[in-house]
Chain A
Amino acid sequence: MDLAALDPLLLLASLLAAATPLIWAAMGELVVERSGVLNLGVEGMMIIGAIAGFAAAVATASPALGFLAAAAAGAALALLFGLLTQILLANQVATGLALTMFGLGLAALIGQPYSGIKPPPATRLAGQIDVMVPLGLALAGAVWWFLARSRPGLILRAVGENHDAAHALGYPVVAIRLAAIAFGGACAGLGGAHLSLVRVPQWTEGMTAGAGWIALAIVVFASWRPARVVLGAWLFGGVTILQLNLQALGLGIGSAWMSMAPYLMTILVLVLISAGRSRAALGAPACLGRVFDASG
């Protein structure tokens, strides 16, 4: 057994890096859900971000432009969801699923010429740590400040808790939700691009492997609070790193068994956090997933 592979500083750095895509995606989804919208398409937006960022970075040889393209692509896909759920009043669960299937398919389609290519190297601060890692933590702080301390954040929360009351007060419910949805999509896209440009860095079909769904679970685990999202992402980052390191150490446990760990962990965490509590007691926005219709 090679214990040098378990250097604590290196482990910590790779944990922070592994948690970063989750922080970005979950933080975006948190804002969306606080506005009362349940977008289950995080996985689809992440993978579109991963390929859009990768393609743009390869084309322009600039990782920064890649991240920009990823945010734009994620937001564009999210607005498609917004159009369907906010303007055409479609069911949010079904639309989110459609977004995931469409995103996975489209990303695979766009990504065909890109497998096996190396992206331009992103500037790294140290080891696996690039600028998106501290920016992700800054995002968490900014989202906290926005929701807890700013007036627009208060309005966004009001829309999420009671859209009829917010509408009666004259707030543009649909516009606010569309803005939140676009923000969530951009964040998910950036999280995906972090996977394809920094963490892996390579494009493979289906490379998000459920990270978007885990991000959704982290939002529940975090009781819709930004600080706990970071905690949750670190927890999952830790499990992923531990599993990869144990696989590298070769303990004789099949890799397929080890690969189940993050998913089983998600289920366990969901059970522990939800047990015996109602949605309201958990802190879920009261209008989460409900259709808002001003005409009726």
Chain B
Amino acid sequence: MLRLEPRPEPSRAMQALTPLAAVLLTLLLGGLLFAALGKDPVAAMRVIFVDPLLDGYSRTELLVKGTPLVLIALGLSFGFRAGVWNIGAEGQFIMGALAAGAVALAFHDVPGLWLLPLMALAGILAGLGWALIPAILKTRFNASEILVSLMLVYVAEQFLIAMVSGPLRDPQGFNFPLSRNFHDSALLPLVLEGSRVHLGVPVTLIAVALAAFVSRRHLFGFRSRLLGEAPRAAAFAGVEAGRMTVICLALSGAAAGLAGMFEAAGPAGQLAPSLPVGYGFTAIIVAFLGRLDPLGILLAGAVMALTYVGGEQAQYVLGIPAAANETFRGMLLFALLAVNLLVHYRLRLVRRAR
């Protein structure tokens, strides 16, 4: 009979291997799902996971879709390590995009190199401010940051609709709830010809390096880990839980807000109710799949970007509905949480005592 035996220390090998095992397990389960839908599972897997890597344009699209996932997940990872659950990054992403878009529209047709930095600042501040609501309600009034941050996603979605059907609507847009297309100086410059890869991609790579430094070398990285793993020890070491909650939420909100600005001023180029596509929720999976480590998150972001790029392809080529990809992502998180057991426990075969 199998028995669980706690390991004295988390296994490093398993920490590296379990995300891989989770992806493989998901491929297996996903194959079953596609077979149940009456689609050829092998063809579906090839279209989603292999084809985007072979085609040049698809490869650049991976960078475009992976950027918001990685950036948001980087911000979330510090909070998740500390036990601060910001699950409303989608809302902070929307507010960031909205604020950046509002700035872009306010200075429509005004050329200037200062506009993009101003939009980025607006996006960061809006995301940060939106995340400070659950932070303050948590530290001042003890309200669950999980529920508050999530409720604010719905509020932000409605707010975006209200804005693009009202003050920010395109005056020549026949009353459609869409903003004008941003002016050239409000669009992120492209860094790769013939693609949609924008300046946000290298900025995100710099953010990965920065986050890796902070989490490994800076006191803040250590404190966030300490607070999550040993709250009592953290208290004795002088880590203030309330302050950490505020900082973690602010940080993740700022990252999500910047990702929102990148999306609005990059691939979208305007504000529309269809702008948010769930990056904020998928980033939660990216953070866990990357083991809350910046370099891991970079890899995990690439894998999840595949499910976006390949998933779109699968829709056209095989008629696999978009919802299948969503199911796929949920499965991946399940698989990851299931195999995570092996990090802290050893499976041991024991003979039953007679």
Given contacts A89-B345, A97-B87, A271-B141, contact A210 B154 (CB under 8 A): yes
Q: Is B142 part of the binding interface, using a Cβ–Cβ cutoff of 8 Å?
A: yes
A26 to B103, CA, bound (A): 42
Q: Are B333 and A295 in contact (CB under 8 A)?
A: no
Q: Mark A100-111, 1 if CB is under 8 A from B, else 0.
A: 111111101100
Q: Is A213 part of the binding interface, using a Cβ–Cβ cutoff of 8 Å?
A: yes
Q: Mark A251-291, 1 if CB is under 8 A from B, else 0.
A: 00010110110011011001100111111000000000000
User: How many A-B contacts are there with CB distance less than 8 Å?
Assistant: 143
Given contacts A112-B323, A254-B166, A295-B4, contact A98 B147 (CB under 8 A): no
Q: Are A266 and B3 in contact (CB under 8 A)?
A: no
Instruction: List chain A residues, Cβ under 8 A from B328.
Output: 105
Instruction: List chain B residues, Cβ under 8 A from A80.
Output: 334
Q: Is A246 part of the binding interface, using a Cβ–Cβ cutoff of 8 Å?
A: no
The dominant DSSP class at the A interface is helix
Complex: chain A residue closest to B85, CB-CB: A93
Task: Pick from B67-75, B155-163, B202-210 the stretch touching chain A.
Answer: B155-163
A213 to B140, CA, bound (A): 22
Q: Are B321 and A102 in contact (CB under 8 A)?
A: no
Complex: chain B residue closest to A273, CB-CB: B143
Task: Pick from B107-115, B116-124, B186-194, B335-343 the stretch touching chain A.
Answer: B335-343
Given contacts A93-B146, A274-B142, contact A254 B165 (CB under 8 A): yes
Number of chain A residues whose Cβ lies closer than 8 Å to a Cβ of chain B:
50
Q: Is A91 part of the binding interface, using a Cβ–Cβ cutoff of 8 Å?
A: yes
Q: Are A84 and B330 in contact (CB under 8 A)?
A: no
A257 to B150, CA, bound (A): 18
A262 to B318, CA, bound (A): 40
Complex: chain B residue closest to A38, CB-CB: B146
Distance to closest chain B CB from A63 (angstroms): 25
Q: Are A277 and B85 in contact (CB under 8 A)?
A: no
Question: Which residue among A101, A220, A254 has the maximum number of chain B CB atoms within 10 Å of its CB?
Answer: A101
Among candidates A90, A106, A254, A260, residue contacting B154 with C-beta atoms closer than 8 Å:
A260
Q: Is A209 part of the binding interface, using a Cβ–Cβ cutoff of 8 Å?
A: yes
Q: Are A270 and B143 in contact (CB under 8 A)?
A: yes
A213 to B154, CA, bound (A): 11
Q: Are B158 and A109 in contact (CB under 8 A)?
A: no
Q: Is B175 part of the binding interface, using a Cβ–Cβ cutoff of 8 Å?
A: no
Among candidates B151, B321, B338, residue contacting A88 with C-beta atoms closer than 8 Å:
B338
A209 to B153, CA, bound (A): 11
Q: Is A216 part of the binding interface, using a Cβ–Cβ cutoff of 8 Å?
A: yes
Instruction: List chain A residues, Cβ under 8 A from B155.
Output: 260, 263-264
Q: Is B152 part of the binding interface, using a Cβ–Cβ cutoff of 8 Å?
A: yes
Q: Are A256 and B162 in contact (CB under 8 A)?
A: yes
Q: Is B308 part of the binding interface, using a Cβ–Cβ cutoff of 8 Å?
A: no
* Residues 63-100 of A contacting B (Cβ, < 8 Å): 80, 84, 88-91, 93-95, 97-100
A277 to B144, CA, bound (A): 12
Instruction: List chain B residues, Cβ under 8 A from A40.
Output: 146
Given contacts A88-B337, A260-B158, contact A104 B326 (CB under 8 A): yes
Question: Which residue among A109, A276, A295 has the maximum number of chain B CB atoms within 10 Å of its CB?
Answer: A109
Instruction: List chain B residues, Cβ under 8 A from A217.
Output: 147, 151
Given contacts A93-B85, A108-B323, contact A102 B331 (CB under 8 A): yes
Instruction: List chain B residues, Cβ under 8 A from A103.
Output: 330
Q: Are B144 and A274 in contact (CB under 8 A)?
A: yes
* Residues 174-224 of A contacting B (Cβ, < 8 Å): 205, 209-210, 213, 216-217, 220
Q: Are B327 and A210 in contact (CB under 8 A)?
A: no
Q: Are A84 and B334 in contact (CB under 8 A)?
A: yes
Q: Is A296 part of the binding interface, using a Cβ–Cβ cutoff of 8 Å?
A: yes
Q: Is B295 part of the binding interface, using a Cβ–Cβ cutoff of 8 Å?
A: no
Instruction: List chain B residues, Cβ under 8 A from A277.
Output: 142
Q: Are B337 and A98 in contact (CB under 8 A)?
A: yes
Instruction: List chain B residues, Cβ under 8 A from A271.
Output: 137, 141, 143
A108 to B278, CA, bound (A): 15
Q: Are B330 and A267 in contact (CB under 8 A)?
A: no
Known: A266-B147, A274-B144. 5 other contacts (CB 8 A): A94-B333, A105-B325, A108-B321, A210-B151, A263-B151
A interface, CB within 8 angstroms of B: 40, 80, 84, 88-91, 93-95, 97-106, 108-109, 112, 205, 209-210, 213, 216-217, 220, 254, 256-257, 259-260, 263-264, 266-267, 270-271, 274-279, 293, 295-296
What 7 A-B pairs are tightest by C-beta distance, nearest first? A102-B330, A105-B326, A108-B323, A105-B327, A98-B333, A256-B162, A101-B330
